[in-house]
Structure 1
Amino acid sequence: MVSGEQANTVGPSWQPDILGEPFEQLTLDLADDFQGEVVATLVRRRESPLRRLASLFDDEAVARGWDVLYVHGWSDYFFQTELAEYWHSQGARFFALDLRKYGRSLRDHQTPGYVANLAEYDEDIEAALSAMGHGHGMQSTRRLLVMGHSTGGLTMSLWVDRNPERAHALVLNSPWLEFQAGAFGRRALAPLASIGARLDPRAQLPNVDLGFYSRAVSSAMDGEWEYNTEWRPARGFPAHPAWLAAVFAGHQRVAAGLSIEVPVLSLVSARSTLSVTWSEQMLSSDSVLVVDEIAEQSLRLAPTVTVAKIPGAIHDVLLSAQPVRSYAFAQITRWARAYLR
């Protein structure tokens, strides 16, 4: 067997990342698909030796000895440096994964974000874990926390359920665990998505994203964050029947109940504002998901689930206004003190 510590010293080399110091990226070669070359990209916040040493004597460092793997949502990629700095300050090694056909991993010949089954991401996740020292057959002295936002939260919940004993904790940030029209709407539309997936899997579906969420995030509008708008377009990437059918299948699995055996924290906004017209309330609420349904579905994931409702949060809780983010990070710390130690 190969140890986790040894695993980080072999294979392709880490390269400087677009986020600048102290971030680095590693290209993960995956099996080609019908569109040709496929890669994923692992990003890490390079560990500070002084911080690592300090964490050994810091009783407040709640994630000492842990590795964190973060997975983004739909039409997204990793740019949340504050999240990386939070986990680094808590003694963890932080990694983020740009899945195939997203962000750093998107190639010109590919349909952005396209998969026909969320389990396709197992290859991406396994490649990332191997680079981190947590792959199959590897022995690591460190524990693993996986974290996902929105569609990434759904993907990682299903992965943890299918892969017991691989991760030791799961943190979700507004996970997309149910369709916005609820179970009734999902059951009505799922057969149509399945038919579309068989007839024309990559047909372009009508775009229902009006750009309100991007308006609440982007510093070019009413938000606080700068990012690559080619990798995170204002109205999202076009969606396709096969992808939607895959998401519906994931929702159905959650609705039936998962059997995750590790502690779960699910962060959601305290309220939703779903509307076809802009409202200032969208700057302090989730304009994408129905948060009460997400909170309810979170309880179907595992026997031990903590749901934290964050007042004033937007869809990505950790991209909300600064006071809201501070409160959300405090809630993560509070949960971590109970479960990561």
Structure 2
Amino acid sequence: MSPPVAPHASPWSPDPLGPDWSQAVLDLTPDLPGDTSSIATLIRRAPASAPTAFAPDAPAILYIHGFADYFFQAHVGDHFAAAGFAFYAIDLRRYGRSLRTGEPGNYVADLSVYREELDLAARAIRGAAGHSRLTVLGHSTGGLIASLWAAHRWRAGSDHAVDALVLNSPWLAMQGSSPYRAAAAILSGAIAPIAPRLALDELSVHYRDALHVDTGGEFDFDLRLRPRRGFPARAAWLRAIRRGQAQVRRGLGIGVPILLCAARESGNRFRPHDRLLTTDSVLDAQRLVDRAEDLGPDVTVARFEGAHDLASSPREAREEYLNTATTWLAHLAR
């Protein structure tokens, strides 16, 4: 058995993604009333039997998933590994591999609690594994979380700060009409203090159906970990998202290079249509791009004929997105 990844982490063990993948459990400080323990799961593209599979000087990627999601996109890890990167991903607390029976799936009341598992993951990657460069790749809610964490670490001057960010359709701004956004703000702000776990909304099934193999899609993700209707958007969680987006609007001042990737167009998220996989039919792509300058002084924007998750778009679009990311990172390393 390989040694622990880092303090507060289990040894590497086999991961369900297959023989090229392993995982380690990160023990966390409980953040919800009544909890006695909490975990996150660090995943890497390397077998448990080969703890030194990555050269320490290889640049590393840490992938952060979105809401009602978890890491299953092995093809993303394969792509970056083929390009010479050490690839890691994390299932945040109460997501995917980290969700325990009886827990409120995907729920937190404050996005800052994720700093703990991201700090532990960064220490494992930079410290125990010895990688000198770390890029964080965040998708959707994971892109918002990654941006807030990177900004916090940049201001703190942390030696575990990231060297670059790649953001895949990051949820930097609320979608929907002005009345919808106003209602979300009022409801979440009023209800969160008295009923923090009250479900206010749920995801549309149409985009998820377009992705999953059982309903005509290309990907075979676990419907227990990423259910057809996702997990409910609870009042305190939605308030936390809006507070995070407000921080973005005020300006994060992240001092590292950022690549912001988004779809060229948005699509209707309330009904099925033939462009679910070639438009962002979850978020408002233009509103995300409009927030680019609020992230920091060095932001490159790239847009694609792809879906909300560019890495789960049809092959041509996802390969263009992944190749753009690796080319951009290679340019930074020169």
CA distance in 2, matches of 1:20, 1:141: 24
Shift of the alpha carbon at 1:15? 0.6
CA distance in 1, matches of 2:44, 2:314: 25
1:289-308 CA-to-partner distances (Å, cap 9, x unmatched) read 11111111122101111111
Matched with 1:233 is 227
- Aligned with 2:237 (options 233, 238, 243): 243
- 3-state SS of paired residue (2:61): strand
Matched with 1:222 is 216
- 8 Å contact from structure 1 (residues 186, 248) kept in 2: no
Change (3 A) 1:88 1:79: same
| Unaligned ranges ≥5, structure 2 | none
Task: Give 1:169-188 correspondences, 5 Å limit.
Answer: 169-181=164-176, 185-188=180-183
CA distance in 1, matches of 2:219, 2:298: 33
Task: Give 1:219-298 correspondences, 5 Å limit.
Answer: 219-298=213-292
Matched with 1:78 is 71
- 3-state SS of paired residue (2:316): helix
1:232-275 CA-to-partner distances (Å, cap 9, x unmatched) read 01111011100000000011111111100000011111111024
Matched with 1:15 is 13
| Unaligned ranges ≥5, structure 1 | 1-5, 57-63
Shift of the alpha carbon at 1:202? 0.5
Task: Give 1:55-70 correspondences, 5 Å limit.
Answer: 65-70=58-63
Change (3 A) 1:28 1:52: closer
- Aligned with 2:120 (options 98, 104, 127): 127
Shift of the alpha carbon at 1:139? 10
**TM-score, scaled relative to structure 2:** 0.90
Change (3 A) 1:252 1:49: closer
Matched with 1:200 is 195
Matched with 2:28 is 30
Shift of the alpha carbon at 1:141? 5.6
Matched with 2:134 is 144
Report the residue type matching 1:293 in the other structure: R
Kindly tell me the number of residue pairs found equivalent between the two proteins: 322
Shift of the alpha carbon at 1:51? 8.6
Shift of the alpha carbon at 1:36? 3.0
CA distance in 2, matches of 1:211, 1:278: 9
The alignment status of 1:326 with 2:319, answered yes or no, reads yes
CA root-mean-square deviation: 2.4
CA distance in 1, matches of 2:276, 2:259: 24
Report the residue type matching 2:168 in the other structure: N
- Aligned with 2:148 (options 139, 150, 158): 158
Report the residue type matching 2:289 in the other structure: A
- Aligned with 1:94 (options 82, 87, 90): 87
- 8 Å contact from structure 2 (residues 39, 98) kept in 1: yes
Report the residue type matching 1:191 in the other structure: I
Change (3 A) 1:157 1:9: closer
- 8 Å contact from structure 2 (residues 5, 12) kept in 1: no
Percent of paired sites with the same residue: 36
